[in-house]
Amino acid sequence: MIAIIDYDAGNIKSVEKALILLEQEVVITRDREQILKADKVILPGVGAFGDAMGKLKQYGLDQVIHEVVEREIPFLGICLGLQLLFESSGEAPGVEGLGILKGQILRIPDAEGLKIPHMGWNSLHLEHDGRLFKGISEQTYVYFVHSYYLKAAEEQIVKASTEYSTHIHASVEQGNVFACQFHPEKSSDVGLQILKNFVEL
């Protein structure tokens, strides 16, 4: 069973739909016991960093996520879910993130001819043998929607990167923690393969 953490963020239903396509049993929940009993846990979401951290704390989910990580249950953060795993974000100065991974969340710099938010398909450069990218080709295109990006403190945890006005760390992996800045659930067959790789860990 896969638990999708419900903290009032957008985009939860499309992740559920993708997992159902993969014939997975899915529950959208904020119940601690249900989350900790799950085989895998996903934190999706689009929205603002500060609001999202506020909701996670309000529902006590920040503690639950730390427990999931400590118990080594495979955990996947998607889009905002990736950003929340880090210590802080330029989008919400003074708001502490979950601090599970080390790095900075920064605003994508303005560049001539590029729109922010970055919305659309970008190719991935794969590195460091990411388990989510088994069977995925170099320079495969995936779908992004974001104005802020990750600059991870440790290059070794970066499994995929892309270029959009700057060098963006698009996916990271450390132990049982996985995260993607792009949306696998909106990235066609490639995205489904990435989610399948997570499901099969």
Q: 44-66 pLDDT, tens per residue? A: 988 999 999 999 999 999 999 99
- pLDDT of 10: 79
The predicted model gives 161-178 an average pLDDT of 98
**Annotated catalytic residue, options 16, 91, 173, 185:** 185
Report the chain's mean pLDDT, rounded to a whole number.
97
The predicted model gives 71-77 an average pLDDT of 98
Q: Is 90 exceeded by the pLDDT of residue 34?
A: yes
Q: For residue range 125-147, what is the model confidence (pLDDT) as tens digits? A: 999 999 999 999 999 999 999 99
Domain ranges of the chain: 2-199
In a 3-state reduction of DSSP, which class is residue 191? helix
**How far is Cα 171 from Cα 180, in angstroms, rounded to an integer?**
4
Residue type, 155: E
- pLDDT of 7: 96
Percent of the chain with pLDDT over 70: 100
Decide: 162 and 133 in contact? Cβ < 8 Å.
no
Q: Is the dihedral of CA 130, 131, 132, 136 positive or negative?
A: positive
- pLDDT of 65: 98
CA within 13 Å, CB half, 45: 27
The predicted model gives 174-192 an average pLDDT of 98
Catalytic annotation on 180? no
- pLDDT of 112: 94
Closest CA to 132 of 65, 189, 185, 76: 76
- pLDDT of 196: 98
**Annotated catalytic residue, options 25, 70, 79, 125:** 79
Q: Is 90 exceeded by the pLDDT of residue 9?
A: no
CA within 13 Å, CB half, 3: 23
- pLDDT of 11: 81
**Annotated catalytic residue, options 118, 146, 169, 183:** 183
Q: What architecture is the 2-199 domain classified under in CATH?
A: 3-Layer(aba) Sandwich (3.40)
- pLDDT of 179: 98
Q: What is the pTM of this model?
A: 0.97
Catalytic annotation on 155? no
**How far is Cα 57 from Cα 50, in angstroms, rounded to an integer?**
11
Q: Which two tokens stand for residue 126?
A: 């794969």
